[in-house]
Structure 1
Amino acid sequence: MERTVWSDQAATAADVTTLQVFRDLFSRDVLRVGEEISVGSMTLMFTDLRNSTKLYREIGDAPAFGRVRDHFDILEQAVAAEGGSVVKTMGDSVMAAFREPASALRAIWNVQKEISQRGSPPLFIKVGIHHGPCIVVNLNDRLDYFGSTVNVAARLSHFSVGGELILSESIRSDPEVTGFLEKNALPNSISRFQGELRGFEEAMDLWKIKL
């Protein structure tokens, strides 16, 4: 009986690696360099600011950097509020991880709503979200994810022109995601299309959600 209760309450590798505080405190201690573990299925989100280079040119380096920095702060707070974590930043792009698809959707929905109302010109994010199996490794004292799921998620945002979410079928078919979109998405804001991803032979069924 005691062993059953403990098992029900035990945190999985997927659970703890999506907690920001765990990543901040224990990334270098969890895995030795070169080790890898499977964490089962994860929800991975990649974001990129639209026309950030143009923003620097239009309003100047210091103001533009301030806007970009604010966008990072808003995104990090929204991700953490949904139990996710920021895995890494790359320029003005972000990779984040969540346990559940709907958590990623709620987080980025709130981010786009907030940053579009701050300052001028308004900022818009290109977003791709995918769910599937991956592995976690210790890379440069940071826990990072690798595998086909990561590759797909990273490429999805390329189909967005900003202010749009690109969802894979594994995200769109999630019941909680469906319920969220039925409640929050505008009429005629959801469309289905087939996208060809670099490095993948077959086109994928994808969904575009206008925010």
Structure 2
Amino acid sequence: MRRQKQNGISCWVLGFLAMLLCYAGPVSSEEDSANFVNARFLYQSTFGPTPALIDQVEKVGIESWIKQQQLLPATYHRPLYDTPFSKGAQANRENAWYQIVLTSEDQLRQRMAFALSQILVVSRYGGALSSKPTGLVDYYDVLVKHAFGNYRDLLHEVAIHPAMGNYLSMMGSTKENPSTGALPDENFARELMQLFTLGLYELNLDGSVKRDPKTGKP
């Protein structure tokens, strides 16, 4: 896969409407509609729009803004994580994340990395990674690095990263040995096929294998 572009009244909706009223003043319905579209786009592609960011997208357009974002240098989390905070390593990791996603210029990259982290999941909870915050930060920076890149390259780096090896238990896995009964750990392989990719074959919504209409092959 190559590069991709990616109910009820809630508090953020009310806050957003209040922001527009405070920011925009009296405007035409056309201008108000454009502001709403741009702000909605920025809610999806950043960690929250500001009046200045809405103005920027209004000025250059959504496609140009995306191109500008892709050209910005990546803001990696490890350097800020290595800057000591006061409450220990896990707090450093969390503080670095919040500071970067709220203040960095490369908002689209950071939002993409966060989206990828919800697919290619590792977690500090319920496993040995709770004591390995440095590994978690390093893993997250892999997602930042490949946010606009080739998905195959990302999968390769994720597959060999110690954090993923630890989380999905293939670290230290051995190959099959019939004489001893040893079997390889297939946890990551299963996740790779079922969750991280389309699997061996692309499927229709009913679960049947999607086939080429001309050749009948998957």
- Shorter-chain TM-score bucket reads under 0.3
TM-score relative to the length of structure 2: 0.26
Please say which structure displays the higher CA radius of gyration.
2
Q: As a proportion of its length, which structure holds more helix?
A: 2
